[in-house]
Structures are given as C-alpha cells and as structure tokens.
Amino acid sequence: MKLSISRKWTPYLYMLLLCTCALLRAQDAGEEADHAGHIPIIAGGVGYIQNVNGGVTTLMPQVSPVLVAPFGRHFLLESRTDFTGFFQREDLTSGPFKGKVFTNVEYSQLDWLADTHVMPVGGRYLLPFGLYNERLGPIWIKNLQDSPFTASIGTRTSGAGDGLLLRGVAVQTPAMSTQYSAYYSFHCGVDQLQSARTAGGDVSLFFSKPRFEIGTSYQRFLEARHINNSAVYISWQPLEASLDVKSEYDYSYFGSGYWVESAYRLDRLSLPSLIQKVQFVGRMQQVFPQNGGGNGLPRVRTERFDVGLNYYLRDNLRIISSYARSFSSQRNANVWNFGFTYRFTIPLWFGAKR
C-alpha cells in the first residue's frame, strides 16, 4: 500500500523539486549584486574558566566549533559540538585535579532560507525558549558565564529538539518587526541526540528605533508528565550607549523565577583606550520552586546576585571575571569565575568570492 502511494506521488514530487530548484536558481541569479563569499567555515568559541563555588574549584576548558556550510544561497547546513572539560580536586578541596571532557552535539540542522516569512529547519536544533538557550548560550557571547537558574525551564532535556522548526519574520515595518519560531520535537534516546517530545513556539517584537525587544515563549512538554512552560522577556540596547539590559521571567510546573542582567561597556566614553575596553556586568535573580522543584531548578527558594568585570583585549578576545553570592535556606555561597573567551572564524575554502 505504501509503495503504491509513493509511486503515485513520485512524478509530482519530481515536478515540485524541479520547480523549486528552478525558482531558487532564478532567485540566486538576481541576488548577486554584492561580493559576499558563500564558502564553508568553522566558527565558534574557545575559553577557559576557573570556577570556585563554595570553596570547591573546578577547571573548565571549553571549545565549541560550529561548522557552517552553505549550498547556494538558500540552504545552509550547520552543526555545533561542545567539548567541555570538568576537572576538580580528588577530595574536592585537596589532592590532584581529576575529571573528564564531555562532548555534546548541541545542534546539527539543515536550514532552508525559503522566504522572509518562513524558514524551515530540520534536524537537531536548539530549543527557542526565552533569551538564553539559543541566543546567549555560546561562551563568547554571555556576559556572565554561569547561566541563570531558570535557564533549564523550557530547554529540557538536552537544550535541543529533534524534528522540525519553522521560523521567520511575520510582519516587518521600518519601525518594528515581529519574529516567530514554532517547533515540534520527537523523543529521541540516541547517544548525543537525546531530546524530549515537546511542542512550542516563541514570538518577539523588536522596535528598531529604541532597539527594544519584548517576547514570549511557550512550550508543552509531552513526556510522561505533560507540563506547560512559559517565559516573558525583554531586551534593550539603546543607540546612544554601549548598554545591554535583558530580563526574563519563567514559569514551569516545577517552579518559577526571574533574572535581570545589565552590562555596560566604557568604549564610548572619553577615557583612555585601555579603560574603554572594560565592561561592567550585574545580574540579580530569584527562583521559587514548587512541587518539589528539581528538574534543573533548585529545590529551595534561592536568590543570587552576580557582578562581573570583563576586559575586551579585542572584539573577539576578552578576559572575564565575576563574583556571585547565592542565598538559600540550605546554604549561602560565594561563586567566583575567572578566565578568558575567544571567538574564531576559519574559512574552509580558498577564494570563492562571488
């Protein structure tokens, strides 16, 4: 039965494929008004973080290469694998450092840049929930290396989904644009490809003049216990200053919480160039567990305050440092981070300038 159906539809599928190829070729021909090269690259971040949490030191070297390979101007293959080492002293506070390197395929997806309004993505993709998982995850992007407590909401079980993702711009005017993502992920237990059965989406409004964005995410977690996860977030980067303000509120069956983060670079102040490379960061967060918490959230109500000082040696190389104090009924702790991050881009092909 299945065979007869596939035979019946085969000519139509061939015709659809040919029409699509012809359309894309025609579009490509009309878009070569620039001299941008479309060659495969490996980009990503390298870093080393020394973390001290409540007196326990953890050494975390990390490299996250991203392979980005375009096929024409409408198809893009991209894949990121994260290699992070965790090394701690044998007895936590004394003895030699021991540990291992963990490998994680964060995403591996094929993008079809079909249209402004619809860009289908298939494969393993990062779950578009809130601000953190998809946008601020890379080591060279985030201003503070420790993720907020609520980053686990909407990103279980691995931060990625296996299935189909649709995204694009719903409406765009000179003053604002409305962007969306919608996805369905099936359950997968294969090593390096683990994902949960989930469905959800994200909508954000970006106002271009004040550079202000407000968005919301929703996810229905469809494993053994069906639960709803939701988030509301804002992001603001005024034109007049090197200021970055972000905030998010997340809600889940296991708890809720919020964080407010602000980063300020001195690069536009009339100061000596050495001081202009400094960035101050602050973040405050609270999390309120319910139904026992866990699943990535603390099990008791916790507050945490972070301050950071980053120094940009170049636009892609920086020294990072931060101090945090966390408060809970179980314990209060000091958390220190110190290290560096570097963003790299390596072309995998010579020439190819169109």
Q: For residue 345, is the peptide bond before it cis, meaning its omega torsion is within 30 degrees of 0?
A: no
Q: Determine if 169 is a binding residue for another protein (CB under 8 A).
A: yes
C-alpha–C-alpha distance, residues 313 and 150, integer Å? 31
Q: Which is nearer to another protein, 222 or 319 (CB)?
A: 319
State both tokens at 93.
């506070």
21: three-class secondary structure by DSSP:
helix
State both tokens at 214.
């407000």
Among 104, 286, 321, 328, binds another protein (CB under 8 A): 286
Q: What is the contact mask toward another protein in residues 40 to 79, using x (rule: CB under 8 A)?
A: xx-x----------------------x-x-x--x--x-x-
Report whether 354 contacts 38 (CB < 8 A). Answer: yes
Sites for another protein among residues 297-316 (CB under 8 A): 303, 305, 312, 314-316
Q: Determine if 213 is a binding residue for another protein (CB under 8 A).
A: yes
In 254-275, which positions are buried (b, 16+ CB within 10 angstroms) versus exposed (e)?
bbbbbbbbbbbbbbeeeeeeee
Sites for another protein among residues 225-244 (CB under 8 A): 235, 237-244
Q: Which is nearer to another protein, 2 or 353 (CB)?
A: 353
Q: Determine if 325 is a binding residue for another protein (CB under 8 A).
A: no
Stretch that binds another protein, among 46-54, 55-63, 82-90, 128-136 (CB under 8 A): 128-136
Q: Determine if 283 is a binding residue for another protein (CB under 8 A).
A: yes
Q: Determine if 35 is a binding residue for another protein (CB under 8 A).
A: yes
**Segment holding 23, helix H or strand E:** helix 2-29
Q: Determine if 81 is a binding residue for another protein (CB under 8 A).
A: no
Sites for another protein among residues 172-211 (CB under 8 A): 172, 177, 179-181, 206, 208, 211
Among 98, 226, 268, 331, binds another protein (CB under 8 A): 268
Q: Determine if 89 is a binding residue for another protein (CB under 8 A).
A: no
C-alpha–C-alpha distance, residues 289 and 299, integer Å? 6
Closest approach of another protein to the CB of residue 245, in Å:
7
Closest approach of another protein to the CB of residue 192, in Å:
21
State both tokens at 307.
């301050």
Among 49, 136, 231, 324, binds another protein (CB under 8 A): 136
Alpha carbon of residue 216 to chain centroid: 16
Report whether 106 contacts 133 (CB < 8 A). Answer: no
C-alpha–C-alpha distance, residues 134 and 137, integer Å? 6
Q: Which is nearer to another protein, 75 or 86 (CB)?
A: 75
State both tokens at 212.
């202000």
Among 19, 31, 97, 300, binds another protein (CB under 8 A): 31
C-alpha–C-alpha distance, residues 92 and 57, integer Å? 7
Q: Which is nearer to another protein, 177 or 321 (CB)?
A: 177
C-alpha–C-alpha distance, residues 242 and 240, integer Å? 7
Q: Which is nearer to another protein, 89 or 135 (CB)?
A: 135
Sites for another protein among residues 97-116 (CB under 8 A): 111, 113, 115-116
Which residues pair with residue 280 across a beta bridge? Answer: 264, 309
156: three-class secondary structure by DSSP:
coil
Q: Which is nearer to another protein, 177 or 216 (CB)?
A: 177
